[in-house]
Chains A and B, each alone.
Chain A
Amino acid sequence: MTVCLGIPGMVTEIKEGEGLLMGTVDFGGVRREVCLAYVADEVRPGDYVIVHVGFAISRLDREEAERTLRLLQELELDGDRNSELGAQGNRGWEKERDGSGGEAP
């Protein structure tokens, strides 16, 4: 548990709990009870939210997310693929962060 960590997950169910809007959020297969009071007006099942210490603090904007990625991908296509960096390599963050081990390049 990290105090400032916010994790995206998908809202699968919305319900009332003693006058407080609660719901179930799926984090890649792990489900948790989450308070939805702070996103009550905008969230529907199937939406993604950022969850922090059991509270959804923001609904993820699908269009913004796709727009950012599209811009970044265009940037990548524009880039020079023969840069020195390609040869130099990096730590391969996708390995470490997904916990699938991996070795230094």
Chain B
Amino acid sequence: MVRGESAEALVVKDLSVHWGSRRVLDAVDLTAAWGELVAVIGPNGAGKSTLFKALAGLVPFGGSVVLGGRECHHRVESAHIAYLPQQGDLDRSFPITVGQLVLTGRRPFLRPWRRVRPIDRVAVERALLEVGLSDRADSPVGSLSGGQLQRVLVARALAQEAEVLLLDEALAGVDTPTTHDLLHLFRRLTDAGRTILVATHDLALARQHFTRCIAINGRVVAEGPSHRVLASEVLDATFGSAALPSLADTGV
């Protein structure tokens, strides 16, 4: 268990990421405590996905990332942090069942040539129970709604024994009741001590449901309590003046 070794789940210092010669992220500093639900906001191309991919070990970076007290340089190598892709990146008609999908989260503990052990089956069942889909283990992924697929991806992260979850646009394109169901699930997971970062475009949602917020645009513009980060001067600096019309909607 990673938790307990350190007060902070995630401490990022001076992180930078390059795509070829282009610097996508520069001098990013941020922290997240255990049990925090954090919104990551920023315009398209601000580097939200890149930040998540760097933290999940999918992209090499400069600087340092301390995950649960353990320091990683250049590349994170830990299954305790899970990246949940945007739903559009997945083929919904793919012939894979919910159970098979969640089982892929067991890969760090289950060598490819090994048979699936009882402990792995239990982990899959518990993960599905936790997201409220234990009766769907045998259903094809194609039969799920968008919200249910998001839950299954969370279950995969739980089967992976991830303590920090990075959700890329998890709340994009889902209806209001589903959004509230998912937020409820996120809050239950954070109450149990897990840390969740959600990249989102929805500023109203970030303000209402997230205690902490990080605004990025190639660098961290602001980090702190949502009501202070989502203030107009920060949003101006993050999005430029184009954000102003949407501010009226958020009631900021």
Say whether A associates with B: no
Residues of B within 8 A of A (CB): none
Residues of A within 8 A of B (CB): none
